[in-house]
Amino acid sequence: MFEGFESRRIDVGEASIFTRFGGGGPAVLLLHGHPRTSATWHRVAPALVERGFTVVCPDLRGYGRSRGPAPTPDHEGYSKRAVAGDLVAVMRSLGHERFLLAGHDRGGAVALRLVLDHPEAVSRFAALDCLPISEHLSRTTATFATRWWHWFFFAQPDIPERVINADPDSWYRGDPESMGRENHDEWREAVRNPDVVRAMLEDYRAGLTVDRDHEEADRKAGRRITCPTLVLWSLRDDLEELYGDPLEIWRDWAPDVRGHGIDSGHHVAEQAPEPLTASLADFFGAG
């Protein structure tokens, strides 16, 4: 995977972020979702390099080979604000003060926080298979709670760790053929690590508490995304089924929003890398 890329562990203070990077041209930061690592981009990142971009793929704080602080009762150490701060520091350490940004799933929530907290750093933002966390929670129905029950299970203290770590191979399932063997093996090694599992759960615990508070404070303050925004969603996932047109929701957060669905399941970077790459490259290369 990632032929021609370098990898480096970058110390950003209270966290150490494993990062892959390569290419030349405008810098693109790609953020993975749960429970993946940066390896999920192994089909997209090299294709973006071929299209003339520098591509940076970190493991989010606590995921994969990145490490963060010990969890605390307020979950601040795994808040999207803390993780976004990591990534600005990573990009600056690589020489990128301003960059293009895409986030998938939980990485999309981090990307939203990054673009709100550090608007000077982001020139264009792509949200993939995600909505702001507060938008999900404000629309919670029995259907959402049933399908996305893991959000609420992961937020419980201690029990999820015991359940998942008892048999991680049964809890987290992946197909090496669709994922790619090396991506699958890296992901499988990560989810067998109890420290990684704990950090991933802290991501969700922060989501239902401090992250929601931050987003709601943004709305009350009238804070919005200031850069052009692309919204992409997987047509064989349930985002559109649950909420209708995702563009309408994102237009409450940003004045310049465009986007469309892609024929894929949820893990779009693995399942539909060609149309995803084309959509990102067209958007990032415009203007």
Active site residues: 105, 266
Burial of 153 (0-12, 13-18, 19+ CB in 10 A): middle
Cis peptide before 255 (omega within 30 of 0): no
Opening angle at CA 280, ends 84 and 78, nearest 5? 15
Q: How far apart are CA 184 and CA 191, in angstroms?
A: 11
Q: How far apart are CA 150 and CA 271, in angstroms?
A: 23
Q: How far apart are CA 190 and CA 31, in angstroms?
A: 16
For tokens 């919005």, the residue is 224
Amino acid identity at 271: Q
**3-state SS, residue 231:** strand
Please, are residues 51 and 21 in contact by the beta-carbon 8 Å criterion? no
Q: What is the DSSP letter of 102?
A: E
Give the relative orientation of helices 159-166 and 194-206 as an angle to the nearest 10 degrees. 140
